[in-house]
Amino acid sequence: MANIKQQAKRNLTNEKKRLINAAFKSSVKTALKGVEVAVENKDLEKANAALKLASKKLDKALAKGIYHKNYVSRNKSHLAKLVNTLA
């Protein structure tokens, strides 16, 4: 435990932020998996809808500073390629 009051407060805010970021990362992973499942089932409409949602979540995570820009662009590109195999 920190001896300095401000550091103790900082530890609390860091822990809150860590939990929020973990929850958001989990929702992003779920969105990514949704695209992959839709492509596996060869459902173009669901795949496009899931791709739109996943892209939105990835962009939001990038804006929040949760993910690096290369991670986001790599995932978006990968998902777009998967969806394009159906078309």
Domain boundaries, position 59: 5-84
d(CA 53, CA 5): 42
- Report the pLDDT value the prediction gives residue 10, as an integer from 0 to 100: 97
CATH number at residue 71: 1.20.58.110
With 0.95 as the threshold, say if the pTM is over it.
no
Segment 26-83, tens digit of pLDDT: 999 999 999 999 999 999 999 999 999 999 999 999 999 999 999 999 999 999 999 9
Angle at 83 between CA 51 and CA 22, to 5 degrees: 35
- How many domains does the chain fold into? 1
d(CA 73, CA 62): 10
1 near 8, Cβ under 8 Å?
yes
Query: CA quadruple 50, 56, 60, 66: dihedral positive or negative?
Result: positive
Instruction: Specify the higher pLDDT residue, 87 or 37.
Output: 37
